[in-house]
């Protein structure tokens, strides 16, 4: 309403342009004519399928482990809770490549935990599709945890008290009252985590390598084709852009209406 | 019909044979004291409908523990609820002894910050006691000294919260079924019982509605059904009508009164509205700064308030009778003309300040006038409260000057009059 100070509007417009212009460039310089040929190669579809399945699996892992973790951080009091909260956010600020190296040291075949996994269960994670999921979940889960923790802190705990007075156990309260109440927050967190996992590059290439068909996700394919065929890289980037945009728009619409319903 | 079983709380170390909270009220040893035991049997067996000869609501001297400040008045082994609630939080401390018989409804009345809600939360197990004890139907639920504390979810307690707190993601039916399912009923079984409860509060056709689609009064009734469905032995109501508009209040008060009258266990109600307290409760406990400053039958407190504050708070002449339009007929064929037209069972109420006193029969249009005798006079602040005995027992507030002008003293025979416009009628 009324006056919009230029001191705010000018940088805002610059910021908007800065964020949007690269995509415009992508669209303008895209080799539209060669597109069918570029996308018909046998790199695109396996990489796309792998990206979608691993991002979804990583989101599932994040939900199963991250929602209880968020509950622990938001609703309980234990020594070292603040420290735990800081450590949870560490993957957010750490370069993903460092995360990949750390994962190798822990879960690699000679890693602290990986050795046992190999000896006892014959499970090897590095350079497998499961390794891609692990790397993606490692970088994506903090987004979900923070989002769900925020939702839990904002939720009205009196509903939980009401459920307790009706005789529900603490776990029943969580499952039947808390979780439905924070569903929009969980949904938003899951979308963030999924998007982060879909774009994951550094931790994946470090921990899982770059094997077409098993660990080469779309971002890895984009990076590698940039070396020898820049046009193919642009085409692949457009696919990635279209997919993330489509999924985010679809889910966002659903969750915003869900929050109001 | 299967009744959901409340789990038996942790055993009481002091009692070798703890009663299950599900035990029928008559099953506790010694029988209930006070009104609950005096109540007639039969269909009117819920007792609170009983109208005394004078027509005034509370039976004189019938409530246990009249006037026992802070003491566990009227509490013997028979009190279904026997508690001393001590909650010390530094700046605020609550210390309230409370003994309530089965079938009795007690209202905690007091200003904001007096500790009413704290007391309620302590009873529900939502806030820990720092001292004292809490025993329900003979079972120890909490005793900090003995390190006994039954958590909220294992207490046979039902709560109607101030803003109802209906689960927004569940239908009215599933809200009511929630407690039944938590007590181990299957989904179909719980829903069938929940349907019966919704029917009982007259909302069967709104079973599938989400709480957001319900009016305040409807939400209140769903909350009541939800709290009552698991058959609690202690029902707690936190300002049950604070969130309602004046019109809905009447309707809800009537529903609530009916259900409280039919409720055979202990009910504790928190309110700051003296009318709600007087209509719904058998006994009032006035709380100030975390302490009970007066307790007793509503009419007794109105007649003999212990402080100016209580005099202002609990000043109401309340009568029960049968209404036809603007006329409410009380027992003894007395008729009160009231401002609001209703039909059927009704309350008529007017504040003590609405009563005028005359030395001879007033020659006014006031239709409500009776010869009375001054039974007692107490000065409260700038008012004198009169206790008047006649065809009706009345309380009246007069200025000291008016008392002097009229030459009033105990035993004076005068006329009391109330304008119909100042007499409210409520469906009962």
**Highest mean pLDDT of the ranges A163-172, A184-193, B382-391:** A163-172
- Residue A52, chain B, CB below 8 Å: the answer is no
Q: In this predicted structure, what is the pLDDT of residue A252?
A: 67
pLDDT surpassing 60 at residue B292? yes
| Whether the Cβ atoms of residue B368 and residue B412 lie closer than 8 Å to each other | no
E strand intervals along B69-224: 81-89, 92-100, 105-109, 131-136, 139-143, 148-149, 157-160
- pLDDT (tens digit per residue) in B373-413: 998 888 877 888 888 998 888 889 888 888 888 888 888 89
Burial of A19 (0-12, 13-18, 19+ CB in 10 A): exposed
Q: Inter-axis angle of helices A44-75 and A218-228, to 10 degrees? A: 140
Q: What ipTM score was computed for the predicted complex, to two decimals?
A: 0.79
Nearest residue to A129 (alpha-carbon basis) of A58, A45, A65: A58
Distance from CA of B386 to the nearest CA of A (A): 45
- Residue A260, chain B, CB below 8 Å: the answer is no
pTM for the model? 0.74
Look at A172 and B167 and tell me if their CB atoms are within 8 Å.
no
Higher pLDDT, A152 or B393: A152
Look at B6 and A167 and tell me if their CB atoms are within 8 Å.
yes
Distance from CA of B222 to the nearest CA of A (A): 13
> What secondary structure letter does DSSP report for B333?
G
pLDDT surpassing 80 at residue A177? yes
Cβ-based contacts of B6 with chain A (< 8 Å): 167
- Could you give the CA distance from residue B209 to residue B214 in angstroms, rounded to a whole number? 7
Integer CA distances (angstroms), B18 to B10, B11, B139, B140, in order: 9, 6, 6, 8
Cβ-based contacts of A158 with chain B (< 8 Å): 161, 165
**Closest residue in chain A to residue B226, using alpha carbons only:** A166
Interface mutation vs chain A, best among B126, B163, B178, most A CBs within 10 Å? B178
Cα B120 to the chain's mean position, in Å?
14
Mean pLDDT of the B327-334 span: 86
pLDDT, chain B, mean: 80
B293's tokens: 């400053």
Q: In this predicted structure, what is the pLDDT of residue B31?
A: 36
Distance from CA of A256 to the nearest CA of B (A): 15
Q: In this predicted structure, what is the pLDDT of residue A255?
A: 54
Mean pLDDT of the A23-42 span: 85
């Amino acid at each position: 309403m009324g006056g919009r100070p230029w001191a705010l509007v000018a940088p805002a417009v610059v910021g908007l342009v800065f964020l949007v212009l690269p995509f415009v460039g992508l669209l303008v310089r895209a080799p539209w004519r060669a597109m069918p040929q570029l996308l018909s190669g046998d790199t695109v579809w396996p990489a796309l399928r792998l990206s979608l399945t691993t991002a979804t699996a990583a989101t599932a892992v994040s939900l199963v482990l991250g929602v209880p973790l968020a509950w622990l951080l938001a609703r309980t009091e234990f020594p070292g809770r603040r420290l735990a909260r800081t450590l949870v956010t560490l993957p957010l600020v750490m370069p993903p490549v460092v995360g990949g190296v750390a994962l190798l040291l822990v879960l690699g075949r000679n890693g602290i935990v990986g050795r046992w996994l190999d000896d006892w269960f014959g499970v090897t994670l590095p350079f497998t599709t499961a390794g891609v999921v692990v790397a993606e979940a490692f970088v994506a889960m903090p987004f979900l945890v923070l989002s769900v923790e925020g939702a839990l802190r904002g939720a009205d705990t009196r509903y939980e008290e009401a459920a307790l007075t009706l005789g529900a156990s603490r776990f029943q309260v969580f499952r039947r009252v808390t979780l439905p109440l924070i569903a929009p927050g969980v949904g938003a967190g899951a979308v963030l985590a999924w998007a982060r996992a879909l774009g994951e590059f550094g931790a994946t290439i470090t921990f899982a390598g770059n094997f077409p068909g098993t660990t080469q996700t779309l971002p890895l394919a984009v990076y590698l084709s940039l070396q020898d065929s820049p046009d193919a890289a642009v085409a692949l980037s457009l696919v990635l852009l279209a997919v993330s945009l489509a999924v985010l728009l679809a889910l966002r619409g659903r969750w915003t209406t869900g929050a109001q319903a | 019909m299967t009744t959901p079983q409340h789990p038996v709380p942790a055993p009481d170390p002091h009692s070798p044979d703890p009663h299950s909270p599900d035990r029928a009220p008559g099953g506790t040893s010694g029988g209930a004291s006070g009104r609950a035991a005096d109540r007639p049997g039969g269909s009117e067996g819920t007792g609170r409908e009983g109208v005394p000869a004078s027509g005034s609501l509370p039976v004189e001297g019938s409530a246990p523990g009249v006037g026992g400040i802070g003491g566990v008045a009227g509490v013997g082994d028979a009190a279904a609820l026997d508690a001393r609630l001590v909650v010390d939080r530094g700046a605020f401390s609550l210390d309230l002894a409370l003994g309530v018989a089965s079938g009795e409804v007690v209202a905690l009345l007091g200003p904001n910050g007096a500790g009413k809600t704290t007391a309620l939360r302590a009873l529900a197990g939502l806030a820990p006691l720092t001292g004292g004890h809490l025993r329900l139907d003979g079972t120890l639920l909490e005793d900090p000294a003995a390190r006994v504390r039954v958590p909220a979810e294992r207490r046979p307690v039902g709560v109607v919260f101030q803003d109802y707190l209906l689960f927004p993601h569940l239908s009215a039916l599933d809200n009511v079924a929630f407690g039944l399912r938590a007590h181990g009923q299957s989904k179909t079984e719980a829903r069938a019982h929940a349907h019966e409860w919704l029917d009982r509060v007259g909302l069967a056709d709104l079973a599938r509605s989400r709480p957001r689609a319900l009016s305040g009064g409807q939400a209140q009734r769903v909350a009541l059904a939800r709290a009552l469905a698991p058959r609690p032995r202690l029902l707690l109501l936190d300002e049950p009508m604070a969130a309602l508009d004046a019109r809905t209040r009447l309707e809800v008060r009537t529903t609530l009164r009916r259900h409280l009258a039919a409720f055979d266990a202990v009910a504790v109600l928190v309110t700051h509205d003296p009318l709600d307290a007087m209509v719904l409760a058998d006994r009032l406990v006035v709380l100030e700064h975390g302490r009970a400053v007066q307790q007793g039958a509503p009419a007794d407190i109105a007649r003999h308030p212990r402080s100016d504050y209580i005099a202002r708070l609990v000043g109401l002449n309340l009568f029960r009778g049968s209404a036809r339009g603007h006329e409410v007929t009380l027992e003894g064929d007395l008729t009160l003309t009231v401002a609001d037209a209703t039909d059927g069972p009704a309350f008529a109420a007017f504040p003590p300040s609405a009563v005028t006193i005359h030395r001879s029969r007033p020659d006014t249009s006031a239709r409500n006038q009776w010869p009375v005798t001054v039974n007692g006079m107490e000065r409260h602040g700038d008012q004198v409260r009169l206790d008047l005995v006649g065809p009706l027992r009345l309380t009246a507030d007069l200025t000291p000057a008016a008392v002097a002008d009229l030459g009033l003293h105990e035993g004076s025979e005068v006329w009391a009059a109330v304008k119909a416009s100042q007499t409210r009628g409520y469906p009962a």
